Chain A
Amino acid sequence: MIESVPLNQVLIVTTLMFFIGVYGFLTRKNLITMLISVELMLNAVNLNFVFFDRYLFPGKLEGHFFSLFIIAIAAAEAAVAIAIFINLYRNIRSINVEDVNEMKN
């Protein structure tokens, strides 16, 4: 089933996903959306690892394990990030990036 899709097409999809994430991170104004964009980038990397494992190195599991670790760490990172967002929201009542500019000079 999966073999009917060649690897290069899969890689095009993951690369597109990654750069959509980059674009989102750079253009979005809402901090939560920026975090979601980063998650999109990480998911593209996860897919990359899993597909490399499946297509090129079927006997190995390193890629699978790596993606599991990435998922776990992304969750930890999101937890800390959102805690800081809440802290910021308590202080300035906004989570818009353009309001996070106290130190612009």
Chain B
Amino acid sequence: MSLQELLLMRHEWLLIAAVVALLLLELNFSEAKKTNVIPAAAIIFTIVTLIGFLPSENGRAFGGMFITDPIRTLMKNILNLGVLIVFLQSGSWLRTQNNFNRVTEFYLLIISSVIGVSYMISAGHLLMFYLGLELLTIPIAAAASYEQYKSKSAEAGIKLILSSAFSSAILLFGISMLYGTTGTLYFSDIKLAGELLTVLSFVFLFSGLAFKISIVPFHLWTADVYEGSPTSITSYLSVVSKGAAIFVLLIFFASVFGPLQEVWQQVVYGTAIFTMTIGNLFAIRQQNLKRFLAFSSIAQAGFILLGMVGGTPLGMATVIYFILIYVFSNLAAFGVVVAVEQVSGKINITDYNGLYNTNPRLSLTMMLALFSLAGIPPLAGFFGKFFLFTAAAESGFYTLLFIAVLNAVISLYYYLLVVKAMFINKSDAPIGYFQSDYSSRIAMSACVLGILTTGFYSPIFEFIKKLCLESF
């Protein structure tokens, strides 16, 4: 193995180096000063993210088990950006009474999980993919039960680890069938001919991944886990872990399951309708903002499936573009939720009544985030959704498109409920004025900047489209 080959795994090496650096750094701080790790971790991860953006070599390592190409590097960079924003937003929560002396654990768990994400995306072999998936899930289950004195947090951890163990068992059963029919586990060697067993194996594999993306009917864990976990972990789950699973699904559709397109198109078609509709209908009746965002993220997953259903490279490009926008919009919303929860402990939509009078800037951030999620024209979310719809229309799925547009209208209604609470509803005891800490203000500004610019700055989409046309 040459140095050249090792350098292909740049993202992974950097993340591993970050883990080691944080462990060594923690040794230098006494018990009471562990919070010094927070800015250090932010700086280290910023460096990791920035180095990730440098131009990279393409190729395969470990005899084809590990693949790096521009599109995979882009996926990793998008998700790294999401993790960086999560880190910046979590500072004030980590400084609280119960957490301040085990800050490093949080970063270690998340970064280990990101290593899993990177390996999963770069996998060229189903074993590698499975290892990455588990490395993504297991640390995050531990992180979900991070707040040891809250039974809610433990409950979220249990629901996450049991459902993910169950789903990965289903996924493995699919992989074993795939192995039985083809005799290989390398993506590039698997040649499916449409035997019945491969269809079955696809169904199992898809169900396993659908758990991670929380596609209906595999979404039942989502709301509880999102509500119970610490809010920073929730934002990680809803953006990075979900985004990674979607990216892997894209890669599967383009490589392993390419020959089965007729089969998976039907599956994606059906699940897209159910995911959008059920996610939206359940989001309407939520009072807790974290549950609300959980169902909204289920509905967004439905919209994302819309881009995949055609199976065209353009559709894949729209999905990646939408995830980029989704990272910014969803993390902006979560940033506000984290900030408000940290100051007041309040999490319900009615608690946000009159927020505009006391905290106008936070309310504006939240409004932009929700409008972007809903897809209101000048913001990036509109362009993301518009491109997804275009991709579906180009492949001729007009019925699906009609249902999606209906759902977009429904989603506008419940996003506006929150905006109405902040701007119009009166409250006797609104959340008082406060200023969130420096790093989360940076994170929120970055998100707002992303929401405002990614839609207008067309070279971003052109770049993604070019990469997709080259590699899918």
A interface residue numbers (CB < 8 A to B): 18, 21, 25, 31, 34-35, 38, 41-42, 44-45, 48-49, 52, 56-57, 60, 62-63, 65-66, 69-70, 73, 76-77, 80-81, 83-85, 87-88, 90-92, 100, 102-103
Contact = CB atoms under 8 A, between A and B. Distances in A.
Contact of A41 (B150, B152, B173): B173
B344 interface: no
B179 A63 contact: yes
Interface residues of B, number: 39
A83 B142 contact: yes
Contacts, number: 114
Interface string B161-180: 11001100110110111011
Contacts of A92: 151
Contact of A81 (B126, B165, B177, B180): B165
Interface string B141-159: 1100100111110110111
Given A80-B161, A87-B148, A100 B155 contact: yes
A89 to B, nearest CB: 9
A101 to B, nearest CB: 8
A88 B131 contact: no
Given A52-B176, A60-B183, A70-B130, 18 more contacts: A41-B166, A42-B172, A45-B169, A45-B172, A45-B176, A62-B179, A62-B184, A66-B179, A76-B138, A80-B161, A84-B142, A84-B154, A84-B157, A85-B158, A88-B151, A88-B158, A90-B148, A91-B151
B224 A52 contact: no
B134 interface: yes
A41 B158 CA distance: 18
Contacts of B12: none
B228 interface: yes
Interface of B: 126-127, 130-131, 134, 138, 141-142, 145, 148-152, 154-155, 157-159, 161-162, 165-166, 169-170, 172-173, 175-177, 179-180, 183-185, 223-224, 227-228
B165 A35 contact: yes
A65 B157 contact: no
Contact of A102 (B131, B134, B138, B151): B151
Sorted nearest first, the 5 A-B pairs with minimum C-beta distance are A91-B151, A41-B169, A48-B176, A88-B154, A84-B157
Count chain B CB atoms within 10 A of each CB in A42, A45, A48 and give the residue with the most.
A45
Contacts of A84: 141-142, 145, 154, 157-158, 161
A45 B159 CA distance: 23
A21 B224 CA distance: 24
Nearest to B146: A87
A66 B183 CA distance: 13
A31 B180 contact: no
A64 B130 CA distance: 15
Contact of A69 (B131, B138, B179): B131
A94 B141 CA distance: 20
Nearest to A76: B138
A65 B170 CA distance: 19
Nearest to B224: A103
B173 A31 contact: no
Nearest to A87: B154
A56 B180 contact: yes
A76 B131 CA distance: 12
Contact of B183 (A45, A56, A90): A56
Contacts of B175: 45, 66
A92 B155 CA distance: 10
A80 B165 CA distance: 11
Count chain A CB atoms within 10 A of each CB in B155, B157, B165, B228 and give the residue with the most.
B165
B155 A66 contact: no
30 contacts: A18-B173, A31-B162, A34-B162, A38-B169, A41-B166, A42-B169, A45-B176, A48-B177, A48-B180, A62-B179, A62-B185, A69-B131, A70-B172, A73-B134, A77-B134, A77-B138, A80-B161, A81-B161, A83-B142, A84-B154, A87-B145, A87-B148, A88-B154, A88-B155, A90-B148, A91-B150, A91-B151, A102-B228, A103-B224, A103-B227
